Amino acid sequence: MAALSQYFKMVKFAHSIFALPFALVGFFMALHLNHLSFDYFKLIYIVLAMVFARNAAMGFNRYLDRNIDRENERTRSREVASGVISERNALIFILANVALFMATSFLINILAFWLSPVALLVVLGYSFTKRFTALCHLVLGLGLALAPIGAYISVTGSFNNIVPILISFVVLFWTAGFDIIYALQDEQFDRQQQLHSIPTLVGAKRALIISRLLHVSSAILMLASGWLMNANLWYFVGAISFISLLLRQHLLVKHNDLSKVDAAFFTSNGIASVVFAFFCILSFYL
């Protein structure tokens, strides 16, 4: 039986920092826009649901891609591909997290429960998409985009405002943009394996242009969301900080120099989501 730490490594638990801050944004935005009181238990359930869904999605990705990962020098040490976690135990882990996600959704509210299979279809289905479409990056973005709108409806029990939907599109375009940058590392391997991505479809140089366009779209929607909410200065401090860190990614990564992809992918995006969430939530109370 693999140690618990190996399961944390398999799902890259630290990468929850990408989506979790936006789930918190959705939670506090729901309280602010609907003048609701703080609910500790609901916040705990939302965080747990997000963790369980992400665990299931990452575990499924590692299980489904185990044979592909063994062929790729960059990924062959991954836990399922290398045998550190057996295929059977990976499946048990996935099914347990699926069950926990649906159970937690039921505790949140009935709408969240009925929508939970749809969320699972998106986050688990992403792992199939690179086998047939270069739009896989947008599907990944859609999976992370469920965090803010999912948290919002977990509080309100309904869709009653366009702003959290716009914030979800912010996350969708942001995620798709940085996933294209990350996929640059595997451009040649993906071509050999007949796997699909924006870099394999249009090449590294044009892929970076598409990534930039997605990030520009994300930035515009973030600013538009603040305008629609009549947000105060603190929101726009967070938004400008977020946009500045997106710009930093594109200054770090060149189509002929991928040496700083990790800095662009992990550091810039992790800081960007945390900083925006901090100032956005602060804006609701100051």
pLDDT by residue (tens digit) across 157-169? 888 889 999 999 9
Q: What is the dihedral of CA 238, 141, 170, 189, to 10 degrees?
A: 70
Residue 217 burial by CB count (10 A; 0-12/13-18/19+): exposed, middle or buried? middle
Q: Among candidates 78, 68, 182, which has minimal Cα distance to 128?
A: 68
CATH number of the domain where residue 131 is located: 1.10.357.140
Rounded to the nearest 5°, which phi and psi values hold at 254?
Answer: -115, 155
Radius of gyration of the chain (CA): 19
pLDDT by residue (tens digit) across 69-121? 999 988 888 888 898 999 999 999 999 999 999 999 999 999 999 999 999 99
SS3 284: coil
Percent of the chain's residues with pLDDT above 90: 77
Residue 157 DSSP code:
S
pLDDT, mean of residues 193-222: 96
Task: Name 254's bridge partners.
Answer: 257
pLDDT, mean of residues 19-34: 94
**Number of separate domains in the chain:** 1
Return d(Cα 230, Cα 27) in angstroms, integer.
18
pTM more than 0.85: yes
Domain of 196, in residue numbers: 4-283
Q: What is the mean pLDDT of the chain?
A: 91
Look-up: residue for tokens 């289905």?
A: 125
Q: Is the pLDDT of residue 1 over 60?
A: no
Q: Among candidates 82, 95, 71, 64, which has minimal Cα distance to 9?
A: 82
